[in-house]
């Protein structure tokens, strides 16, 4: 079994990997800015010592879920995701680490003009440039949800719970998601399989937005929301608002959010399943119920 260093062990995905390793009896070295000694991907001098004697590095640290765009927030995203990845992979190469597993995102397939998506694309690029003879496995995770989520799924749960949800479109468009526990098992599978390398999308089977909202309503004991507007009506008004406000950042963000909500975002993980013998185990209803229970425990 390889010796594994998990960077970003305190984050949403990283903590799930740590928990999965404990369940499976897999020993790993957990590193984060709060570990002892602290490891900060923006301070390369903290990385070299952490990688001593390590065979595989799992890089799960990164920046996400910035919902209010500012120049400072954009700069933080880029520095954390791009410069941080460069530092991690360069340190792994210097330390003679044989394999790096980079936790990336399916956002790299689209998201033109979105800083997060661009930062993840650039992170993958610099990882390839810095890897040298170190084997590199890139895992592009679909939207990860579950207990501890701070992203779009918990925002949707909150909207349904507070009866502020309004349908846009018919809800028959499909999305790829993956529960945090399945994401963690996938990352461990790649880390334990040896350094064959490659780039893979990682997702559970796609579901419709109507299925997602229905699962949320059931978990919360709410009725499925009925109020809605057509996607065409919503997009016309969002574009008009953006034009009238001279492309105000909030108006532009609203336009992008509506477009993202209405489109299909389906990613095929068959290659990853076949390579690593992986099958997701948490179905949508179970995963949403777990996140809804977590959300309510914090709300109460």
Give yes or no for a contact between 102 and 143, defined as CB atoms under 8 angstroms apart.
no
- Length reported for the chain: 300
Instruction: Quote the pLDDT of residue 186.
Output: 98
Number of domains in the chain: 1
- pLDDT, tens digit, for every residue of 28-37? 999 999 999 9
For 9-18, how does the pLDDT look when each residue is reduced to its tens digit (9 = 90+)? 999 999 999 9
User: Strands 4-7 and 56-59, how do they pair?
Assistant: parallel
Which tokens is 105 given? 């995102």
pLDDT tens for each residue of 185-205:
999 999 999 777 999 999 999
Decide if 220 contacts 157 (C-beta within 8 A): yes
* Banded model confidence at residue 251, pLDDT cuts 50, 70, 90: confident
CATH number of the domain at 238, please: 3.40.50.720
Quick check: 169 pLDDT over 90? Answer: yes
Rg value, the chain, Cα:
20
**H or E segment and range at residue 168:** strand 167-168
d(C-alpha 198, C-alpha 287), whole Å: 28
Residue 226 has which token pair?
């009925």
Domain that holds residue 99: 4-299
pLDDT of 298 strictly over 80: yes
Q: What is the pTM of this model?
A: 0.93
Question: At residue 228, what are phi and psi to the nearest 5 degrees?
Answer: -165, 170
Q: Are strands 143-145 and 177-179 parallel, antiparallel or unpaired?
A: parallel
Count Cβ neighbours within 10 Å for each residue of 44-56 and write b for 16 or more, e otherwise.
bebbeebbeebbb
Does the pLDDT value for residue 176 go beyond 80? yes
């Amino acid at each position: 079994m390889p010796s594994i260093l998990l960077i970003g062990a305190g984050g949403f995905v990283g903590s799930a990997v740590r928990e999965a390793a404990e369940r499976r009896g897999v020993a790993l070295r957990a590193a984060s800015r709060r570990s002892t000694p602290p490891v900060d991907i923006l301070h390369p001098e903290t990385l070299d010592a952490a990688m001593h004697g390590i065979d595989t590095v799992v890089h799960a640290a990164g920046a996400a879920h910035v919902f209010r765009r500012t120049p400072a927030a954009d700069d933080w995203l880029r520095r954390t995701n791009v410069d941080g990845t460069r530092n991690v992979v360069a340190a792994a190469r210097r330390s003679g680490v044989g394999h790096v597993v980079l936790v990336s995102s399916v956002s790299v397939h689209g998201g033109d003009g979105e800083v997060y998506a661009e930062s993840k694309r650039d992170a993958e690029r610099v990882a390839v440039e810095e890897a040298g003879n170190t084997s590199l496995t890139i895992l592009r995770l679909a939207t990860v949800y579950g207990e501890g989520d701070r992203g779009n799924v918990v925002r949707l749960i909150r909207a349904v719970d507070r009866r502020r949800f309004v349908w846009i479109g018919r809800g028959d468009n499909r999305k790829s998601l993956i529960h945090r526990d399945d994401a963690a098992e996938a990352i461990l599978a790649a880390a334990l399989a040896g350094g064959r390398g490659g780039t893979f999308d990682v997702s559970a089977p796609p579901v419709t937005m109507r299925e997602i909202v229905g699962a949320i309503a059931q978990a919360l004991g709410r009725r499925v929301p009925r109020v809605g507007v057509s996607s065409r009506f919503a997009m016309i008004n969002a574009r008009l608002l953006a034009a009238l406000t001279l492309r105000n950042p909030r108006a532009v963000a609203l336009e992008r959010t509506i477009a993202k909500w209405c489109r299909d975002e389906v990613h095929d993980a068959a290659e990853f399943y076949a390579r690593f013998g992986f099958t997701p185990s948490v179905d949508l209803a179970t995963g949403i119920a777990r996140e809804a229970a977590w959300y309510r425990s914090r709300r109460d």
